[in-house]
Amino acid sequence: MNITEEKIAHIVYTNTDLTEGRGCEYPLYVCESLTTAKRLCEGKYVQGCNAPICSKQIYAIDGTWYGPIKLETPTKKDKVTDVKRALCETIRRKMEKAGISLEELEFIINEGKI
Protein backbone atom coordinates (compact mmCIF):
# COMPACT_ATOMS: atom_id res chain seq x y z
CA MET A 1 0.00 0.00 0.00
CA ASN A 2 1.31 3.40 -1.00
CA ILE A 3 -0.18 6.82 -0.14
CA THR A 4 0.00 8.68 -3.43
CA GLU A 5 -1.85 11.89 -2.48
CA GLU A 6 -3.36 13.76 0.48
CA LYS A 7 -5.84 16.61 0.58
CA ILE A 8 -8.29 18.35 2.86
CA ALA A 9 -11.90 17.46 2.14
CA HIS A 10 -14.93 19.40 3.36
CA ILE A 11 -17.50 16.99 4.78
CA VAL A 12 -21.21 17.82 5.01
CA TYR A 13 -22.86 15.85 7.83
CA THR A 14 -26.52 15.05 8.25
CA ASN A 15 -28.56 13.12 10.81
CA THR A 16 -30.61 9.94 10.51
CA ASP A 17 -33.45 11.75 12.35
CA LEU A 18 -34.19 14.93 10.43
CA THR A 19 -37.21 15.75 12.62
CA GLU A 20 -35.62 16.07 16.08
CA GLY A 21 -31.94 15.32 15.50
CA ARG A 22 -31.90 12.38 17.91
CA GLY A 23 -30.33 10.00 15.40
CA CYS A 24 -26.73 9.48 14.34
CA GLU A 25 -24.73 11.91 12.25
CA TYR A 26 -23.12 10.62 9.09
CA PRO A 27 -21.26 12.13 6.13
CA LEU A 28 -23.67 13.08 3.38
CA TYR A 29 -21.15 14.65 1.00
CA VAL A 30 -17.35 14.77 0.89
CA CYS A 31 -16.27 17.73 -1.22
CA GLU A 32 -13.03 19.00 -2.72
CA SER A 33 -14.18 22.61 -2.44
CA LEU A 34 -15.60 24.47 0.55
CA THR A 35 -17.86 26.32 -1.89
CA THR A 36 -19.32 22.99 -3.06
CA ALA A 37 -19.86 21.90 0.56
CA LYS A 38 -21.61 25.18 1.42
CA ARG A 39 -23.89 24.81 -1.60
CA LEU A 40 -24.73 21.16 -0.85
CA CYS A 41 -25.32 21.68 2.90
CA GLU A 42 -28.31 23.99 2.40
CA GLY A 43 -31.44 22.50 3.99
CA LYS A 44 -29.86 19.07 4.53
CA TYR A 45 -29.96 18.95 8.33
CA VAL A 46 -32.53 18.62 11.11
CA GLN A 47 -35.77 20.50 10.38
CA GLY A 48 -34.40 21.80 7.09
CA CYS A 49 -31.46 23.67 8.63
CA ASN A 50 -28.13 23.89 6.86
CA ALA A 51 -25.96 20.88 7.64
CA PRO A 52 -22.67 21.28 9.51
CA ILE A 53 -19.41 21.10 7.57
CA CYS A 54 -16.16 19.65 8.91
CA SER A 55 -12.77 19.72 7.16
CA LYS A 56 -10.70 16.54 7.37
CA GLN A 57 -7.63 15.01 5.76
CA ILE A 58 -8.27 12.28 3.19
CA TYR A 59 -5.75 10.02 1.48
CA ALA A 60 -5.32 8.39 -1.92
CA ILE A 61 -3.74 4.98 -1.57
CA ASP A 62 -2.71 3.43 -4.87
CA GLY A 63 -5.13 5.75 -6.68
CA THR A 64 -8.19 5.15 -4.44
CA TRP A 65 -9.44 7.82 -2.00
CA TYR A 66 -9.98 6.85 1.63
CA GLY A 67 -11.98 8.72 4.21
CA PRO A 68 -15.71 9.31 4.67
CA ILE A 69 -15.95 9.42 0.92
CA LYS A 70 -18.01 10.32 -2.06
CA LEU A 71 -15.79 13.10 -3.26
CA GLU A 72 -17.91 15.79 -4.89
CA THR A 73 -16.00 17.71 -7.51
CA PRO A 74 -16.67 21.43 -7.73
CA THR A 75 -18.83 22.71 -10.55
CA LYS A 76 -17.45 25.34 -12.93
CA LYS A 77 -19.42 27.94 -10.98
CA ASP A 78 -17.92 26.68 -7.69
CA LYS A 79 -14.41 27.01 -9.14
CA VAL A 80 -15.08 30.58 -10.28
CA THR A 81 -16.47 31.39 -6.81
CA ASP A 82 -13.39 29.84 -5.17
CA VAL A 83 -11.12 32.08 -7.26
CA LYS A 84 -13.20 35.17 -6.44
CA ARG A 85 -13.25 34.29 -2.73
CA ALA A 86 -9.45 33.86 -2.65
CA LEU A 87 -8.97 37.12 -4.53
CA CYS A 88 -11.25 39.01 -2.12
CA GLU A 89 -9.29 37.62 0.84
CA THR A 90 -5.96 38.66 -0.71
CA ILE A 91 -7.30 42.15 -1.38
CA ARG A 92 -8.63 42.46 2.19
CA ARG A 93 -5.22 41.54 3.63
CA LYS A 94 -3.45 44.05 1.37
CA MET A 95 -5.94 46.75 2.33
CA GLU A 96 -5.39 46.15 6.03
CA LYS A 97 -1.63 46.41 5.53
CA ALA A 98 -2.11 49.61 3.52
CA GLY A 99 -4.09 51.22 6.34
CA ILE A 100 -7.41 51.52 4.54
CA SER A 101 -10.07 53.01 6.84
CA LEU A 102 -12.61 50.85 8.66
CA GLU A 103 -15.46 52.40 6.66
CA GLU A 104 -13.73 51.59 3.38
CA LEU A 105 -12.94 48.05 4.52
CA GLU A 106 -16.54 47.49 5.70
CA PHE A 107 -17.78 48.60 2.31
CA ILE A 108 -15.50 46.07 0.58
CA ILE A 109 -16.52 43.31 3.00
CA ASN A 110 -20.26 44.01 2.69
CA GLU A 111 -20.31 44.59 -1.06
CA GLY A 112 -17.67 41.97 -1.91
CA LYS A 113 -19.34 38.93 -0.34
CA ILE A 114 -19.63 35.99 -2.67
- Cα 60 to Cα 33, 54, 97: the distances in Å are 17, 19, 39
The pLDDT value given to residue 76: 94
Please report, in tens digits, the pLDDT of each residue of the chain (114 residues total).
Answer: 788 999 999 999 999 999 999 988 889 999 999 999 999 999 999 999 999 999 999 999 988 888 875 567 899 999 999 999 999 889 878 888 898 877 877 887 788 765
The pLDDT value given to residue 106: 82
Q: What are the two backbone dihedrals, phi and then psi, of residue 69, each rounded to the nearest 5 degrees?
A: -120, 135
Parallel/antiparallel/unpaired status of strands 3-15 and 53-61: antiparallel
* Per-domain boundaries in the chain: 1-73, 75-114
The pLDDT value given to residue 36: 97
